[in-house]
Structure 1
Amino acid sequence: MAAMKTVDRFFEDYAVGESRTTQGRTVTEADVVLHAGQTGDFFPHHLDAAWCATQPFGRRMAHGTLIISMAVGMTAGDINPQAMSYGYDKIRFVKPVFIGDTITVTAEVTDKADHRKDPARLGYLHELVSVINQDGETVTVLTHLYLVNKRGEPS
């Protein structure tokens, strides 16, 4: 795993349309079991292979919240002290992710806006996060919201 670096990217440094794509990551049984233990979600869809074999999807699937966590983590390559996560909107689980699937993530800046209460110092940045499986299918999408410092007037 590459070492994280610290970068200072201010609101003014981002452009609508810029994007980044991660390397792939395979979802393992250990990922699913650990997530079940952390969240208390032991539904058979995730852990009971025999039951899943009787269902239309035929096999165990990863938790949607696991895929969100993985996607956000996969896109967090640098530490930026000028920005912080402000939340997530429009989360959709488009298709199931199964144990053994490999996902990649693309994050594209889709919107920038001034902060309503402090527009001189802060802005909002929206990234459309798209999770794609090994077959090129979109499996999860969400909007990641950031609160970002503005560079401000030079001193």
Structure 2
Amino acid sequence: MYDRYYDEVEVGDTAIYGGVQVSEEYINRFAELTGDHHPLHVDPEFAARSRYGQRIAHGFLVLSLSAGMFPMDPAAVVAFYGMDGVRFVKPTFIGDTLRVRLTVTDKTDKTVGGVVQTALEMVNQRDEVVAVATMRILVARSPARAEVVA
């Protein structure tokens, strides 16, 4: 999706990327990095008594994993433009394998190229959606097209 220039992306384009297994180490390292040591994430006994019956991954960990799953061509991607509507709709457990599904929902022209808006869905190995967001990335026009526009 973000391995193409703005003028090469169309509303409706969809792609699925990744295949990252969430490990206990990921959860523990994320807790150390962020300081979020909520017992649902790091305490097996506490988590076993919770509604989930086991430890769950941090929502922000799940969302952060998406960033490394889809390709971003440095020649095309100008900047991360923002994210809205983040929701964590199902828990992610140790051992779950996550993929990210991106669907282009809008494009907004800008001088440098434009903002590509995508519906981001994190899905587990059962194809259940565990997290959603609307993501926007500023993407350059292709070099050949940029010369015509300028």
SS in 1 for 2:27: helix
Q: Tell me how far apart the structure 2 counterparts of residues 148 and 18 of structure 1 sit (CA, whole Å).
A: 15
Q: Aligned AA for 2:42? A: L
Moved runs in structure 1, 4+ residues, more than 6 A? none
Partners in 2 of 1:42 and 1:122 — Cα distance? 41
Name the counterpart of 1:62: 57
Q: Percent identity, please.
A: 37
Q: Which residue of 1 aligns with 2:75?
A: 81
Question: Unpaired segments of 5 or more residues in structure 1?
Answer: 1-6
Moved more, 81-90 or 96-105: 81-90
Task: Give yes or no for the alignment of 1:148 onto 2:147.
Answer: no
1:44 to 39, 42, 63: 39
Q: Which residue of 2 aligns with 1:3?
A: none
User: What per-residue deviation string (whole Å, max 9, x for no partner) do you get for residues 121-144 of structure 1?
Assistant: 331110111111122211001111
Which of 116, 123, 130 is matched with 2:121 structurally? 130
The aligned residue for residue 29 of structure 1 is 24
TM-fit CA distance, 1:22 = 1.4
Higher helix share: 2
Deviation at 1:42, TM superposition (A): 0.4
Query: 1:145 Cα deviation (Å)?
Result: 0.5
TM-score computed with the length of structure 1 as normaliser: 0.85
Which amino acid in 2 is paired with 1:89?
A: D
Whether the 8 Å CA contact 2:98–2:123 is kept in 1: the answer is: yes
CA distance in 2, matches of 1:147, 1:65: 22
- Structure-2 separation of matches of 1:32 and 1:139: 16
Which residue does 2:112 correspond to in 1?
121
AA aligned opposite 1:100: G
**Residue 95 in 1 paired to residue 72 in 2?**
no
Structure 2 gaps of 5+ residues are none
Change (3 A) 1:50 1:24: same
